A and B are shown apart, each in its own frame.
Chain A
Amino acid sequence: MDTVALSAYLGAGLCMGLGAIGAGIGEGLTGGDAARSMDRQPAVSSRLMRNMLIGQAVAESASIFALVVSMLLIFGDYSSPTSPGPAALIGAGLCMGLGALGSGLGGGMAAAEAMMGVGRNPGAERRVTSVMLIGQAVAQTPSIFSFVVSLLLIFGGAETANPIKESALLMSGVAMGFGAIGSGAGSGISAGRASDGTSKRPAAYSKLISTMLVGQAVAQTPAVFALMVSLLLIFVPDTVSVTLSSLAAVIGCGISVGVGGIGPGIGAGFAAAEAASAVAKNPLKETLFVRTMLTGQAVAQSTAIYALVIALVLLRLI
């Protein structure tokens, strides 16, 4: 039992353990709201049940990615000379585990609001479900980013002797994992309110979808920043100088862009959610709401941009 295999198992455990949190809470919320809706509208309980299962299945995809990554980690071949080092394997596990948190939670919250919507207005069931599915699909994007980074870390190549390079691999996983939380949860919140709005005003369906998509696209920005920095960290050259300050710069860089993205992602998602419910109340003023939302989101994101700038400066100092 060598350190590489040990760290792969540690990574697998962290990955699935963390990865189950978001989807667990989210699907619980969905189930609870579905039960409340059934209580109000027993006549449509079979349709509610079907929609609940669809919504939960999509919300679960993030933790299925986590399952795939931990399987890859458990059954990998660690005796070959091309196997990645311990840092990369733990990084891959952390990346997918943390990355599944936000998307799982967000997807579940979207499905929960959709359940309440179907219960309120069973006639709009089809439209509510399709808004929910589109919104959930976008909310899964950050977890797909995490999945890509985890795969790059697992299949990225052999361990190097340079400790700074190895810690850069670990921190690239941490950066992407944390960076995905806010965007996933935020996109999920806005998808939920858009589904809720669709049930209140099914005629504004297409306007709600476009408002939601624009808002979610802006809410993804912190995840895109995190992906960018984590790819830059993965491609740090093997020849980087080994000093204590470059180690600190690598760790600081990953934490800055990763943790710094949580708040702006959730905040931008919240703005998009309120814009969606405003569009549902007054669809004729759609452009006004989208404009206000975009301005507000853009300002709310400036802290994520400061975090990106600090991360890029630290990356230069490695």
Chain B
Amino acid sequence: MFDQITGSELIRAFALLGAGLCMGFGAIGPGIGEGFAAGKACEGISRSPEHANLLTRTMLVGQAVSESTGIYSLVVALLLIFVV
């Protein structure tokens, strides 16, 4: 089926596979975590609606931090696709 696979082809193939695995599994955690933050922000706003702006900003900052692992996955996946 795949006659004469060279070493560089093998590396390229594993890099692409790795990119998919990396982004796929890397997306799980931040997704759940950020959703959790959004939920808690809604709960907080329902308790004290007058602080809605403050709470929304806190939510966004918290989400941005928890998203960083997702961005690391994205960076690694892009490196695997375009650099390796």
Name B30-84 residues within 8 Å CB distance of A: 30-43, 45-46, 49, 52, 55-56, 59-60, 63-64, 67, 70-71, 73-74, 77-78, 81
Q: Among residues 1 to 49 in chain B, which have CB atoms less than 8 Å away from a CB atom of chain A?
A: 1-2, 5, 9-10, 12-21, 23-43, 45-46, 49
> Which segment, of A66-74, A88-96, A97-105, A257-265, faces chain B?
A257-265
Say yes or no: B31 contacts A314, CB within 8 Å: no
Bound Cα distance from A270 to B39, whole angstroms: 6
Interface residues of A (CB under 8 A from B): 163, 182, 186, 242-245, 247-249, 251-271, 273-275, 277-279, 281-282, 285, 288-289, 292-293, 295-297, 299-304, 306-307, 309-311, 313-314, 317
A295 to B53, CA, bound (A): 12
**Chain B residues near A288 (CB-CB < 8 A):** 45, 49, 52
Which of A262, A265, A273, A306 contacts B73 (CB under 8 A)?
A306
In contact, B77 and A310 (Cβ under 8 angstroms): yes
Complex A-B, nearest 10 residue pairs according to Cβ-Cβ distance, in ascending order:
A267-B35, A252-B20, A296-B38, A263-B31, A274-B39, A264-B31, A278-B46, A260-B27, A263-B28, A271-B38
A296 touches B9 (CB 8 A): no
Chain A residue numbers with a CB within 8 Å of B38 are 267-268, 270-271, 274, 292-293, 295-297, 299-300
